[in-house]
Amino acid sequence: MAAQPNYALPNGYLLMDYRIVRKIGGGGFSLVYLAYDSADQPVAIKEYLPGSLVKRGENDLVEPITQENANAFRYGMKCFFEEGRSLARILHPNVVRVQNFFRANDTVYMVMRYERGKTLQDHIRAHRGEVREGFIRRVFAELLNGLREVHTQKLLHLDIKPSNIYIRMDGSPVLIDFGAARQTLTLDQPLLAPMYTPGFAAPEQYTDQTMLGPWTDIYSVGASLYACLAGFAPQAADARLVSDRLASARSTWTGEYSERLLEIIDGCLRLDYMARPQSVFTLQKALMEPPPPLSKKRKIMASLRKTFNREIF
């Protein structure tokens, strides 16, 4: 069954010790609100609300659409709650801070620190085709500090993409909106269609989920790096498995970015998970290597290519 749109809690709604200001995001799995806590500090609250399973009923209570959906919904609540519990143990500046999680309205809520800034996706759109290598290396090297901590806690993100990488006002990145609960729920519950982000999900997320590991998140990091250069996502992995038409970063951006950065991107995007970097530390070390300066010839080539792209697009 396709996800049904569920209406959000109204502005001004009192949810436990939090006052809802407005809905700020969400999709078929959850809704996200800006709210204020009892100390009048802003927070982001994620409400577990899979539209294919439940609807909002009387008195704002969440109820299964059919009795058949009830077990799947309860299992999903458990996954969502456990993800919140696990994330609450992570205290790292580059990972979203989970402050609280609780049950209300017959569903569950996750309370996170509210971050001010913009997503990496916003930055890519504003600088399409001209995202600087220094910026890319710095942001991802810092972000991988957080991802290393996630993997140390035996967790996976499973939904890394530019819209889930937030750039704070001070320029530091933070990893938000984990997809592990969504992945687990759709894996074990046939009533739900799998929730992937085309272009950023690794091949094994489509084909063999027993093979999920750090290398799965590393594929998504590589796809996000690719998007910084291209301005759009690479070809989706399931399509690549049928007919791989993805042009390598080295063949596309030689002369505009260092060969090492292009090699890193291509390595992360290998379809064979064993051919990718196997740990975040390995990837981070490569990104932190200072890039060699572009030769005068390559600078001229890069300038001509950018001019051509601006005239075309």
Sequence-ordered alpha helix ranges (H) in the chain: 67-88, 120-126, 133-152, 180-188, 203-207, 214-230, 237-242, 249-253, 259-268, 280-287, 296-312
Binding residues are 46
| Full strand arrangement of the beta sheet holding 165-168 | 117-119, 165-168, 173-175
Positive or negative, the CA dihedral 271, 275, 279, 282 is negative
Q: Which residues does 48 contact at the CB level (< 8 Å), separation at least 6? A: 29, 30, 76, 77, 80, 107, 108, 109, 110
182 and 103 in contact (C-beta within 8 Å)?
no
3-class state of residue 154 by DSSP: coil
Q: Which residues are annotated as a binding site for ATP?
A: 46
